[in-house]
Amino acid sequence: MQVVLATHNPHKVEELRRILAPKLPALEVLAYDGPEPVEDGATFAENALIKARAAAAHTGLPAIADDSGICVDVLGGSPGIFSARWAGPAKDPDENLALLLWQLGDMAAGHRSAPLTCGAALALPDGTEWHVTGEWPGQILTAPSGSGGFGYDPIFLPDGYAISAAELTPNVKNEHSHRARAFDKLIPVLQTLLEV
CATH number at residue 185: 3.90.950.10
194 pLDDT band, cuts 50/70/90, is confident
Percent share of the chain, pLDDT over 70: 99
* Range of the structural domain that residue 139 is part of: 2-195
Q: Which of 33, 40, 67, 159 is catalytic?
A: 67
168 pLDDT higher than 80: yes
> How confident is the model at residue 28, as a pLDDT?
94
Q: What value does the mean pLDDT take over residues 68-74?
A: 97
Q: How many domains does the chain have?
A: 1
Are the C-beta atoms of 155 and 172 separated by less than 8 Å? no
15 pLDDT higher than 90: no
Are the C-beta atoms of 65 and 120 separated by less than 8 Å? yes
12 pLDDT higher than 90: no
Are the C-beta atoms of 85 and 26 separated by less than 8 Å? no
196 pLDDT higher than 70: no
184 annotated active-site: no
User: How far apart (Å, rounded) are the C-alpha atoms in residues 190 and 121?
Assistant: 11
Q: What is the pLDDT of residues 93-152, one digit of tens each?
A: 999 999 999 999 999 989 999 999 999 999 999 999 999 999 999 999 999 999 988 899
**CA angle (96, 7, 83) in 5-degree steps:** 20
What's this model's pTM, rounded to 2 decimal places? 0.92
